[in-house]
A and B are shown apart, each in its own frame.
Chain A
Amino acid sequence: MRLAPVFLGSLVRRRAATLLSFAAIVLGVALGMAVQAVNQAALAEFGRGLRTLSGVADLQVVGPRGGFDEALYARLAARPEVAQASPVLEVWTERIGSTDTLHVLGLDLFALGAVTPALWPQPAKLDGQSEREARFAALAENNLFLSAAAQTVLAVQPGDRLRVYAGTQPLELRVAGDLPGAAEDPQLAVMDIAAVQKHFARIGQLTRIDLRLVDGLDAQTARATLAPLLPAGVWLEAPQTAEGQAANLSRAYRVNLTLLAAMALVTGAFLVFSAQALSVVRRHTELAFLRAIGLARHQLFFWLLAEGALVGLLGSVVGVVLGHGLAFGLLKLLGGDLGAGFFAGLSPTLKFDLWASGIYVLLGVGAGVAGAWLPAREAASVAPAQALKASDDSALSQRRGYPGLGLILIVASAPLCVLPPILGLPIGGYLAIFGLLTGSVLWLPMLASGLARVVPLRGPVPVRLAAARLRAAPGMSAVAATGVLASVALVAAMAIMVSSLRDSVDVWLGQILPADLYLRAGRAQSGGVLSEALQVQLTDVSGVARVQFTRHDSLRLAPGQPPVALLARPVSSDGRELPLVGSARAVAEGETAVWISEALYDLRGWRPGDHVRLPLAGSEVQVRVAGIWRDYARQTGSLMLDLADYRRLTGDRSAQDAAIWLAPGADALGVAEALKAAGGSGALEVTVPGEIRARSLRIFDRTFAVTYVLEAAAVIIGLAGVAASFAALAAARRREFGLLRHLGLTRGQIGSLLALEGSLAAGIGIFGGLTVGGAIAWILIEVVNRQSFHWSMDLHVPWVSLLVFAGTLATLASLAAVLAGRQAMREDAVLAVREDW
C-alpha cells in the first residue's frame, strides 16, 4: 500500500494550518541563518583585514593603546631569535570637516617587507614631481599612502591634498600613492614611522612590533625567552589572538540573536504541534481504520512524524534561501555587526556556508518532528477498536497534558540559572529559558481546567456554553493556546529586558554626564589630545566655573585577553560621582584607589578591598579596588583612577576629554563657542549632555532594531497560530454547531460563543505567556545579559505596553475564532448533523 499520499497528502488538505507551520519554520530558520551568515561574513572580513595588517608575523608585541617605549624595538631586533622586527605606530585621525576616520599606520618600509608585505606603499607617478621627490616618496614627511577603498571613500586621488587632525592641530598631507596589497580596507593609510611620530607628537613611542622569527624556531619557545624583556603591560601575542578576541566579543551578541531566532523556530514547532494534534483528532477514524487493516503501530507513528518532518524540511530549505537574502539586505543596511558597532568600517561579502546551511535545515526538520511527536505518539497508542467507536474529539478533550514532566522542567530551570558561563556563553540561562517555556506549555491544560473551574456558569447561553466547554475539554483550548503562550512569552521577555536595559542606560547616562558641557579633542580614538597648555586655557575661558579632565587609555592586564579601558578623572574617595553598584570601600591613607567595572568583577574576579597590580607607564603599580561601577560602554571592562593618582603614577599630564560646569548665569552656547575657539582650527568638539544622551540612545535603539523585528515576527506567528487552531477546531465541530442550530441557537449566538471561546483560549495563552515571559525576562537580565555582557540592570516592566499588547492580542484572537467559525457554519446545519448517522 502506498502510504505517502495518505499521510503527506493530508498536509495539502489542511492547507492553512500547514502553511502557517511552514511560515513559522521559514521565519525561524531564515532569521537564524541570516544572523549566522552576516556574522560569519563580518568575522571573515575582519580576520582578513587583520591578516593583512599582521602579514606573516609570527608574534606581535602589543601594549596599552597609548603605546610603549621604542627602545624595546632595538632590544628585540638585536635578539638572535628574531629574523626581522617591524615597528608600527598606529594612530586614528579624522579628515578635517568630516567624520571620515583614518587608521594611519606609521611603518618603517625597510623593515616591513619581510613581515607585512601587503602594507607596502606604492608611490604614484605624479606630474610635476621632481625625480628626487619620486624617489623618496615613501619616506617624505607629508606623504600619505591610501588604500584604493579609502581613496574612494575620501574621494581623493594621488596628488591631492588631505587635511587631517594631528592632536588638535590641522595637518596637511599629500596622497602619494596607494597600498596594492591592502586595497579593500576603507580606512587604511600608511606613512613613514618617523613622520607619524613627529606629526602626531608620539616621538619615542610605538604601539606594536611585528616579529618574524628565525626559521625553525617555534613561537612558544621564542615567546618564553623574549617575554622577560618586555615592560609591564606589554605582551607577546600570536597574530590570531586579535581575531579570536573579535570573535569572542561579538559572539555573545550573535548567540543572543541566534537564540531569538531559535525561539521563532520553537514557536514553529508549537504550531506544528497544534496543527498535528488537531489533525490527528480529525482523522482519528481514518487512522483507526488504517490500523485495523494492518498498519503497524510504529508505521503509523513514523508516518505521522514524517508529516511534521516534511513541513520542517520544506520550511527550512526555503528559510535557508530566504536567510541568505535577508543577510544580504542586512549587510547592505546595517553592516556586519547588525548595527552593534563591533565591526565598524568593514564591508564584508556574503558567502554560502554549506555546513551552517545544513545544520539549519536539520534544525528546521527537527522542529517539525518535535512538534509532530506527541500527537503521533498519542494516535499510535490508541487501540483501533476503541478509536473506531469513540467520537472524534474525545481523545483531545480528555488530554490533561503532562503536568508532571512540565513541573520537572520548570523546577529544573531554577538551578540552571546559577551555572557559570561556559566558554563565555550563558548556556545555563538558555537551557533554563527552554525548560521554562516547554514546561509551561505542558502545564497549559492544567491551567486551562483550573481557569474553567473559576469561570461562573451564569449569564447568556453562549457564555455558559463557552465556560462549560472549557471545563469539559480544556485540552482543546490548551492546544490553541500553546502558540499564543510561546510568542507572548518571547515578546514579553524581550520587551521587559530591553526596556530595563534602556531605562538603566538612560539613568546611567544621567549619572555619568553631570556637567553642563562636554568637550573632547576630536572624535578619533587616539588622535586628539588636550595638551597641558590647552587645559589651562580651557579652564580660563570666561563663564567656566569648573573643569574636570579625563585621560583615556587602554591597558593589557594579561596576555591573550582584550585590552581594558582606563579612565583617569577626578574621583572622590567615596566614589559618589560614579554609578556605583554596591557600596564603596574606603582605601587606607597612602593607597591608590581603583574603581572597577562589573566586567572586571566577573572576568578577573576582583573584589572590593583586593590589592591588584596595574601596568602603568611600563611598570607594575599596586592599587586597591575601592568599588564597582556600572559601565554600559565597555564590554571588556574598564578601570577608573583618580586623575591626580594617574598623573602621579605615570607623569602623563595630557587629557582627551573635559567636563565643564558653567558659572551661574553663563550662556552655554556662548561658552561652547569660546571653548571651541580656544582650541583653534575646529579640532575641539563641544556638546551638551542632552545631545550625547540622545545620540547614545539612538545607537542603543539601532542595536536593538533586529530584536524588534524578531518580536514582530513572533507576534504575527502566534496570532496566525491561533487562527489556524480555531479554523481546525471549528471544522472539527461542524456537527456540534449543527446540533446547536437544531436546538434553536442563532448564527449570531454561535458566533459569540466562538468569540468567547477564542478570547478564553487566547486569554489562557496570554496569561501564561505573560507569567512565563516575566520569568524569562528575569533570566535574560540576571543570567544571560550578566554572563554575556557583564553588566547588571534595574528591572523596569513596561506595564502599559504589555497590557495594550495583551488586550489587542485577545481581541484579534476572538476575531480569528469568529472568522474560522463562520467558515464552518456555511454548511447546512441539517447536513452537518446527518453526517453522524
Chain B
Amino acid sequence: MNRRACLLALAGLPLTQILAATAPTTGSAIPEAAFDAVLPGRVLRFPDDEGAHPGFRTEWWYVTGWLTEPDGDPFGFQTTFFRVRTGIGEDNLSAFAPRQLLLAHAAIADPRLGRLRHDQRAARTGFERAGYAKDRAHVWLDDWSFEQIDDRYVTRVNAEDFAYDLRLAFTGTPMLNGDQGFSRKAPDPHHASYYYSRPQLQVDGHVTLDGRRQAVSGRAWMDHEWSSAYSPDGADGWDWVGLNLDDGGAIMAFRMRQPDGTALWASATRRFPDGRIQSLAPEQVELSPLRRWRSPRTGIEYPVEWHLRIGDRGYNLHPLMDDQELDSRRSTGTIYWEGAVRVFETGREIGRGYLEMTGYADRIQVD
C-alpha cells in the first residue's frame, strides 16, 4: 500500500505520452522552452555523452539482461531511468522548479513467479534526492541509481518486493546506432534521436528475492538515447529488441509501428564478434509476429513470438515466459510488455536478449 500510494505520484504523467511528446501547440499555458534539436553529423564523445543531456526533451538509460544464480534457473532484469525536460519553470528560481523530472522502472522476470515483479519511482530533480551527472553516466532517484565507474556501470534498486545491486563490466566500445549514433525514427528526419548501445555487459552482483540475497552473474545490455522529437505522429508505438549472441555478437532492431500493424520505419545495428559494426536500412529489417498472447489482467494482446529478419539472416524470438506485461495503469498510466527472450536461428538457441513492445494498450481499451 505504501509503495503503491507513492506511485500515485506519476498518475498525471503517463509515461508513453511523455516519451511520445509531439510538437507543441500554439497558445499553450506552458511557455515553450527551446529544446535542443537532434541533427545528423554530431560526433558522440565518451564518457561525456554517457552523461545527461538536459537540453533535450527526453532521455533514457535502459539496462536489460539475463541473470543466473550459481545453481539456479535464469531470470531477466530491467532497470530504466527516464529524464524528462518539462519546459515548466525554466525561469523559476525555486529549487523545486520542475524543469527536469526523473522516472525509474525496475523489474525482475522470474519464471518461477510467472509474471513480472516491478516497481517505479518518480521525482523532480533537486535537493540531492534525484539528479544526474552530465560528464558520465550517473543518474539517481533516492536509493535507486545507475552510475558509471571506470569501465563498468553499477546499478542499485531497492524495490518493494525485490532489490539488486549489480556491476556491469564493459566488453568493448559503445555500439553507435543509426548513422554514427544519429538514429532516425521516421521518414521525416525531424524525428530522430542520439542513440548508442553497450551490448555484452558482464554482470555480477547480488539480487534479493523473497528476503533471500543471492550472488548472481549474467549478461546485459545498456541503451542510452536522447531526443527532443522521438515518436512520429503516424506511429502507435514501437517494437524493439536488443540481443546478446553467444558468439560475442549483438543485434539491436526496432520498428515504429503504424495503427495497421505495419512498420512506419525500421532500423537495426549488428555487431560482429570481431567488433565490426553494420547499420541496416529500413528495408533490410523486418519484424513479423508469430504467436500472440492475451493478458488476463488487461485483455491486451501482445505478439510474444517474433521472426526477425536482418539482411539475409533470420531469427526466431521466444519469450522466457509469456506474461512479462508491465501494467502500471494505477501509477504511470502505462502498459507495455518488456521481457526476456531467447534467440533461435535454424532451431538452435544462439543468444538471449530483451524484447520491448509499446503502444498495444491504447487500441484495446478494457474497463
Chain A residues within 8 Å of B, Cβ to Cβ:
56, 70, 73-74, 77-78, 83-84, 87, 108-114, 117, 120-121, 123, 130-133, 135-143, 174, 192-195, 197-198, 203-204, 212, 215
Binary contact readout B11-27 vs A (1 if CB under 8 angstroms, 0 otherwise): 11110011001101100
Report how far A745 CA is from B22 CA in the complex, Å. 111
Task: Judge whether B173 is part of the interface by a CB distance below 8 angstroms.
Answer: no
User: Closest CB-CB distance, A107 to chain B, in whole Å?
Assistant: 10
Name the residue in A83, A111, A120, A139 with the highest tally of chain B Cβ atoms < 10 Å from its Cβ.
A139
Task: Judge whether B281 is part of the interface by a CB distance below 8 angstroms.
Answer: no
Can you list 16 contacts pairing A with B, beta carbon distance less than 8 Å? Answer: A70-B127, A77-B129, A84-B6, A112-B9, A114-B3, A117-B8, A120-B11, A132-B25, A133-B25, A136-B13, A139-B86, A174-B29, A195-B92, A197-B96, A198-B93, A215-B2
Task: Judge whether B247 is part of the interface by a CB distance below 8 angstroms.
Answer: no
**Contact assessment for A114 and B17 in the assembled complex, using a CB-CB cutoff below 8 Å:** no
Given contacts A109-B12, A198-B94, whether A132 and B24 have CB atoms under 8 Å apart is yes
Given contacts A74-B128, A77-B127, A77-B129, whether A139 and B98 have CB atoms under 8 Å apart is yes
Report how far A337 CA is from B3 CA in the complex, Å. 39
Given contacts A74-B129, A108-B96, A198-B93, whether A131 and B22 have CB atoms under 8 Å apart is yes
Binding site of B, secondary structure by majority: helix, strand, loop or mixed? loop
Closest-by-CB residue of B relative to A139 is: B98
CB < 8 Å neighbour of B8 from A87, A120, A193, A195: A120
Report how far A113 CA is from B4 CA in the complex, Å. 8
Task: Judge whether B243 is part of the interface by a CB distance below 8 angstroms.
Answer: no
Closest-by-CB residue of B relative to A74 is: B127
Closest-by-CB residue of A relative to B18 is: A135
Write out the residue numbers on chain B whose beta carbons fall within 8 Å of the beta carbon of A112: 9
Task: Judge whether B123 is part of the interface by a CB distance below 8 angstroms.
Answer: yes
Interface residues of B in 199-234 (CB under 8 A from A): none
3 tightest A-B CB contacts, nearest first: A130-B25, A194-B96, A113-B8
Given contacts A135-B14, A194-B97, A203-B93, whether A83 and B2 have CB atoms under 8 Å apart is yes
**Contact assessment for A114 and B6 in the assembled complex, using a CB-CB cutoff below 8 Å:** yes
Q: How many A-B residue pairs have CB under 8 A?
A: 115
**Contact assessment for B98 and A113 in the assembled complex, using a CB-CB cutoff below 8 Å:** no
CB < 8 Å neighbour of A194 from B2, B24, B89: B89
Write out the residue numbers on chain B whose beta carbons fall within 8 Å of the beta carbon of A174: 29
**Contact assessment for B96 and A113 in the assembled complex, using a CB-CB cutoff below 8 Å:** no
User: Closest CB-CB distance, B268 to chain A, in whole Å?
Assistant: 30
User: Closest CB-CB distance, B138 to chain A, in whole Å?
Assistant: 17
**Contact assessment for B13 and A135 in the assembled complex, using a CB-CB cutoff below 8 Å:** yes
**Contact assessment for A111 and B94 in the assembled complex, using a CB-CB cutoff below 8 Å:** no
User: Closest CB-CB distance, A214 to chain B, in whole Å?
Assistant: 10
Binary contact readout B78-103 vs A (1 if CB under 8 angstroms, 0 otherwise): 00000000111100111111100100
Report how far A83 CA is from B8 CA in the complex, Å. 16
**Contact assessment for B29 and A140 in the assembled complex, using a CB-CB cutoff below 8 Å:** yes
User: Closest CB-CB distance, A201 to chain B, in whole Å?
Assistant: 10
Task: Judge whether B241 is part of the interface by a CB distance below 8 angstroms.
Answer: no
CB < 8 Å neighbour of B124 from A108, A120, A133, A143: A108
**Contact assessment for A140 and B88 in the assembled complex, using a CB-CB cutoff below 8 Å:** yes
Report how far A133 CA is from B128 CA in the complex, Å. 28
Given contacts A141-B88, A192-B98, A197-B94, whether A133 and B127 have CB atoms under 8 Å apart is no
Write out the residue numbers on chain B whose beta carbons fall within 8 Å of the beta carbon of A117: 5, 8
User: Closest CB-CB distance, B90 to chain A, in whole Å?
Assistant: 10
Interface residues of B in 23-70 (CB under 8 A from A): 24-25, 28-30
Task: Judge whether B122 is part of the interface by a CB distance below 8 angstroms.
Answer: yes
Write out the residue numbers on chain A whose beta carbons fall within 8 Å of the beta carbon of B22: 131-132
User: Closest CB-CB distance, B120 to chain A, in whole Å?
Assistant: 11
User: Closest CB-CB distance, A105 to chain B, in whole Å?
Assistant: 13
**Contact assessment for A110 and B124 in the assembled complex, using a CB-CB cutoff below 8 Å:** yes
Write out the residue numbers on chain B whose beta carbons fall within 8 Å of the beta carbon of A133: 25, 28-30
Report how far A692 CA is from B24 CA in the complex, Å. 52
Given contacts A123-B12, A204-B95, whether A113 and B7 have CB atoms under 8 Å apart is yes
With A74-B127, A139-B12, A193-B96 given, can you name 4 additional A-B contacts, CB distance below 8 Å? A73-B127, A77-B129, A132-B24, A194-B96
Closest-by-CB residue of B relative to A108 is: B96
User: Closest CB-CB distance, A204 to chain B, in whole Å?
Assistant: 7
Name the residue in B12, B87, B96, B122 with the highest tally of chain A Cβ atoms < 10 Å from its Cβ.
B96
**Contact assessment for B29 and A143 in the assembled complex, using a CB-CB cutoff below 8 Å:** yes
Write out the residue numbers on chain A whose beta carbons fall within 8 Å of the beta carbon of B124: 108, 110, 194
Closest-by-CB residue of A relative to B24 is: A132
Write out the residue numbers on chain A whose beta carbons fall within 8 Å of the beta carbon of B30: 132-133, 136, 140
Write out the residue numbers on chain A whose beta carbons fall within 8 Å of the beta carbon of B123: 110-111
Write out the residue numbers on chain A whose beta carbons fall within 8 Å of the beta carbon of B3: 114
User: Closest CB-CB distance, A830 to chain B, in whole Å?
Assistant: 91
**Contact assessment for A136 and B6 in the assembled complex, using a CB-CB cutoff below 8 Å:** no
Closest-by-CB residue of A relative to B7 is: A113
Closest-by-CB residue of A relative to B12 is: A138
**Contact assessment for B8 and A70 in the assembled complex, using a CB-CB cutoff below 8 Å:** no
Write out the residue numbers on chain A whose beta carbons fall within 8 Å of the beta carbon of B96: 70, 87, 108, 192-194, 197
Closest-by-CB residue of A relative to B122 is: A110
Closest-by-CB residue of B relative to A112 is: B9
Write out the residue numbers on chain A whose beta carbons fall within 8 Å of the beta carbon of B89: 139, 141, 194-195, 198
User: Closest CB-CB distance, A215 to chain B, in whole Å?
Assistant: 8
Closest-by-CB residue of A relative to B14 is: A135
Report how far A131 CA is from B12 CA in the complex, Å. 12
